[in-house]
Amino acid sequence: MYNQGAVEGAANTELGSRVFVYEVVGLRQGEETDQTSYPIRKSGSVFIRVPYNRMNQEMRRITRLGGTIVSIQPVTALQQVNGKASLGNATSEVSELATSGETANSEGNGKATPVNADDSEAKGFAKPPAEEQLKNKDKKGNTMTQAKAKKDHGDVPVNTYRPNAPFIGKVISNEPLVKEGGIGIVQHLKFDISAGDLKYIEGQSIGIIPPGLDKNGKPEKLRLYSIASTRHGDDVDDKTVSLCVRQLEYKHPETGETVYGVCSTHLCFLEPGADVKITGPVGKEMLLPQDTDTNVIMLATGTGIAPMRAYLWRQFKDAERAVNPEYEFKGFSWLIFGVPTTPNLLYKEELEEIQQKYPNNFRLTGAISREQKNPQGGRMYIQDRVAEHADELWQLIKNEKTHTYICGLRGMEEGIDAALTTAAAKEGVTWSDYQKELKKAHRWHVETY
């Protein structure tokens, strides 16, 4: 899959002497910004040369200063001799938030998005309608990092209901997911879709159109949310669809006023029996492979757990297995889940039940940032867990039967890439090149915001 070039091979001879260049934006503008909970205004790009053995330490320092790493590029042996650093293509896109698993600012699962970037909810947590995602992928703004969809999913339902003619579903239940003492409001909503033709599969999303008008006096735009249930629904009767929604809440950077997300607030406080406008489904990037003997690595923060829950239900839930005799999962799934506190471990009981029942097929690893410490004594974020298990993950990723799914804050991508860069480099492999091959093989799936 990967052939290492001669120059890169030379650079890897002495790992400790390797140098990487971090392109960083958003470094803090003053001490007072450390106390804020909203994304600060970005500075221009700053390029920082980082020795191989200080990569993780420098990443944490940049995060503490409010910065975001736009790209991590190795300086090859030849470039080090010449004193130059070629940046090339960024290995990851700009994130509006620092690398963290605990921001209070992401609405829903981060995919809740108005089309207009001026909306208060579109502060780095948003993506435009599905048909615009790939077109806008690398533009500055509120787009979601999303690789191209797998081409052989032509039978997947898409856009059964469009914004100009949404399906009107009804709320069956709206249950809190954050336990006492946790941070924020996160709800599990189940909608009745039995009156329509809305069919979907695991890994897709639906749009929600909130009622009312936006600040420009126009009808509110739809927001997209990852589906948290299997194609058969939580009741396994093909009559429901479920979402995992976090209420967006943050302080306005100029006025200090508390801002609440329009759509997320609407959803989080819906009563059973209420109508809801639904569009979609959309998305083919996050679909599970059809093979049942695959390895599935899942890296999620916060409500990025939504598609992972759908995968795990399909793989392990008894009722699901009973209605899917053609899909009997025999592989291995590993979920690394980042949250701020134990009460924020969404679906905790479900996950622990699966782990207990299928210990050889499912592994659950938590990164609880405000309760656990990383090896350097700082908060334990998901990228720290990936670094801790980087060698094991790297060996698993090399298996052609392994698929990796990342959903949650875009900021975690840099840390994940850094950890796997280190692990791959031990075998003389350049991670950024190898990752490109994984994407071409449709084995690296990302939806971050």
Active site residues: 225-226, 407, 447, 449
**Cα–Cα distance between 115 and 190 in angstroms, integer?**
25
**Cα–Cα distance between 51 and 18 in angstroms, integer?**
6
Alpha-helical runs (H) found in 245-324: 262-268, 305-316, 318-323
Q: 265: helix, coil or strand?
A: helix
Q: Comparing C-alpha atoms, which of 225, 229, 221 is closest to residue 193?
A: 229
What's phi and psi for 442, nearest 5 deg?
60, 45
**Cα–Cα distance between 54 and 47 in angstroms, integer?**
15
Q: Which residues, listed in sequence order, are joined to residue 339 by a DSSP beta bridge? A: 368
**Cα–Cα distance between 263 and 274 in angstroms, integer?**
14
**Cα–Cα distance between 207 and 282 in angstroms, integer?**
8
DSSP string, 37-81: -SPPPP---EEEEEEGGGHHHHHHHHHHTT-EEEEEEEE-HHHHH
CA 137 vs CA 5, 52, 140, 143, 408: distances in Å: 29, 30, 9, 6, 17
Q: Comparing C-alpha atoms, which of 109, 63, 55, 106 is closest to residue 379?
A: 63
**Cα–Cα distance between 161 and 199 in angstroms, integer?**
10
Which two structure tokens, joined as six digits, stand for 241?
């669809």
**Cα–Cα distance between 294 and 286 in angstroms, integer?**
15
**Cα–Cα distance between 140 and 165 in angstroms, integer?**
30
What's phi and psi for 350, nearest 5 deg?
-60, -45
